C-alpha cells in the first residue's frame, strides 16, 4: 500500500498539473480564436461564400462523391487485406528462398508512394497499350498494393507476437501448420492486430483522396471543383470545411466499428476456447512407459 500511496501526486503536484492544464486549454482556445478571427475578417464566414451549399444539386454531387470515395475504400480495404495476408504467409514460409522473395517484394511495395503507384497505373500503363485502366481501377490498385504491403508486416509481427509455446504445444499433439495458424495463432493475434489494422484502414480511406490527381471524382476532387468556382467567390475554405467534416465523420465511424469488433472479440464465447500454453500442453500424451 505504501508504494501505491507514494505514487499519488501531492498538493503541489496537483496544483502544478491543474495550472499546466489551464495553460494548455487557454493556448488551444487562443489559437482557434485567432484562426476564426482571421477567417472572419477575410470574409470566409459571409453568406456569399457559403451560398453554394444552399443548392440541393451541390449536396447531391457531394453524396455521389462520398459514394465513390467509399467504393474505392471498400474494394481497396478488401484487396489490401487479401494481399497483406498472402504476403505475410509468403514471408512466414519455411522455405528461405520463398521467404526472402516475399520479403523483397513487400519492402519494394512499401517503399513506393501511393501517388506514384496511381500515376504509374493511370499514365504509364496506357503507354504500354493497356487501355482498360480507369481512374477508379488505378486508385483501388494503388491503395490495395501499398496497404497490403504494410498489412503484411502487421500480420507477420502479430503472429510472431503469440508466445512460441502455443504453436509448439499444438504441433506436439499432431496439428499441421495450417491448423496451427487457423486455430491457435490467428484467433489470438487478430485481437492484438485489430487496432493497427483499423488504423491502416483509415489510411486507405484518406489515400483515396489522392485520386483527384488522376481525375477520380471523389470528395477531394469535388471540394476542389466547388472551392475554385469563381461564380461563387471561390469558397475554398467553406469547401475544405465541408469535405474535411465528412472525412472526419467517416474516420470516426471506422473507429466506432473497430471498437465494437474489439469488444465482441473480447466477449465472444469462441475467444474463450483458445487454450493457454499450459492447457494445450496438458493434452500431450505421456511417453510410453511413464
Best CATH choice for the domain 61-279 from the list 3.30.470.20, 1.10.3720.10, 3.40.50.2300, 1.10.1040.10: 1.10.3720.10
For 212-241, write each residue's pLDDT tens digit: 888 888 888 988 888 888 777 788 888 888
Query: Helix 186-207 vs helix 56-91: angle between axes, to the nearest 10 degrees?
Result: 140
Contact indicator for 43, 231 with CB cutoff of 8 Å: no
Residue 223: which of 72, 43, 73, 58 has the closest Cα?
58
Helix, strand, coil tally for the chain in percent (to 5): 80, 0, 20
Contact indicator for 170, 280 with CB cutoff of 8 Å: yes
Mean pLDDT for the stretch of residues 174-192: 74
Domain extent listing, the chain: 1-32, 61-279
Higher pLDDT: 209 or 262? It is 209
Mean pLDDT for the stretch of residues 101-107: 90
In this prediction, residue 26 carries a pLDDT of: 95
In this prediction, residue 281 carries a pLDDT of: 42
For 253-265, write each residue's pLDDT tens digit: 888 887 887 777 7
Give the global pTM: 0.76
CB atoms within 10 A of CB 111: 10
Amino acid at each position: 500500500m505504501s508504494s501505491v500511496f507514494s505514487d499519488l501526486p501531492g498538493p503541489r503536484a496537483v496544483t502544478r498539473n491543474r495550472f499546466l492544464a489551464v495553460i494548455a486549454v487557454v493556448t488551444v482556445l487562443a489559437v482557434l480564436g485567432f484562426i476564426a478571427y482571421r477567417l472572419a475578417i477575410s470574409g470566409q464566414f459571409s453568406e456569399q461564400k457559403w451560398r453554394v451549399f444552399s443548392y440541393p444539386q451541390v449536396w447531391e454531387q457531394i453524396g455521389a462523391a462520398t459514394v465513390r470515395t467509399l467504393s474505392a475504400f471498400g474494394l481497396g480495404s478488401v484487396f489490401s487485406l487479401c494481399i497483406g495476408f498472402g504476403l505475410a504467409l509468403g514471408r512466414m514460409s519455411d522455405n528461405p528462398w520463398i521467404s526472402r522473395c516475399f520479403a523483397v517484394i513487400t519492402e519494394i511495395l512499401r517503399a513506393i508512394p501511393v501517388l506514384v503507384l496511381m500515376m504509374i497505373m493511370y499514365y504509364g500503363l496506357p503507354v504500354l497499350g493497356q487501355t482498360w485502366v480507369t481512374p477508379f481501377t488505378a486508385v483501388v490498385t494503388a491503395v490495395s498494393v501499398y496497404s497490403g504491403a504494410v498489412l503484411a508486416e502487421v500480420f507477420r509481427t502479430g503472429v510472431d507476437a503469440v508466445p512460441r509455446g502455443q504453436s509448439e504445444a499444438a504441433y506436439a499433439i499432431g496439428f499441421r501448420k495450417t491448423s496451427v495458424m487457423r486455430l491457435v495463432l490467428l484467433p489470438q493475434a487478430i485481437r492484438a492486430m485489430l487496432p493497427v489494422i483499423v488504423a491502416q484502414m483509415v489510411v486507405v480511406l484518406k489515400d483515396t483522396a489522392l485520386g483527384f490527381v488522376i481525375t477520380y471524382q471523389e470528395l477531394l476532387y469535388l471540394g476542389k471543383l466547388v472551392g475554385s468556382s469563381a461564380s461563387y467567390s471561390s469558397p475554398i475554405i467553406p469547401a475544405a470545411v465541408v469535405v474535411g467534416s465528412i472525412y472526419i465523420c467517416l474516420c470516426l465511424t471506422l473507429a466506432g466499428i473497430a471498437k465494437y469488433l474489439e469488444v465482441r472479440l473480447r466477449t465472444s464465447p469462441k475467444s474463450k476456447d483458445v487454450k493457454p500454453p499450459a492447457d494445450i500442453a496438458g493434452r500431450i500424451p505421456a511417453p510410453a512407459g511413464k
